[in-house]
Amino acid sequence: MKKRYLYSLLFGIPGFFVALIISFLLFGVTAGVLWVFVFGDNPWPSFTEKILPGLFVLAFLVAWIIFIGIGFVIGRRLEMIRN
């Protein structure tokens, strides 16, 4: 197995959990800012029920893809060093 794929896997597995933590934090910060500064205790518009979970999923996927990409690049560089 090429190192680029091995390192993608090695960075992707823990990156999954780190991306999950990052997306939870981003979701919490976004909901908190919307609650404190934008909508308050008034009823929130219905579009926030779609936007906030969408932001959560988007942040998770972007962070996870970044970690996998970092692993791929490091593995490719290690292959170049060996050859």
- Identify whether 34 is part of a domain: yes
Structural domain of 32: 20-82
Residue tagged 């823990």 (tokens): 14
Q: For 13-28, what is each residue's pLDDT tens digit?
A: 999 999 999 999 999 9
DSSP assignment string, 27-76: HHHHHHHIIIIIITTSPPPTTHHHHHHHHHHHHHHHHHHHHHHHHHHHHH
Q: For 16-59, what is each residue's pLDDT tens digit?
A: 999 999 999 999 999 999 999 999 888 999 999 999 999 999 99
Give the total number of structural domains in the chain. 1
- Identify whether 65 is part of a domain: yes
pLDDT score, position 82:
76
- Identify whether 12 is part of a domain: no
- Identify whether 45 is part of a domain: yes
pTM for this model (two decimals) = 0.87
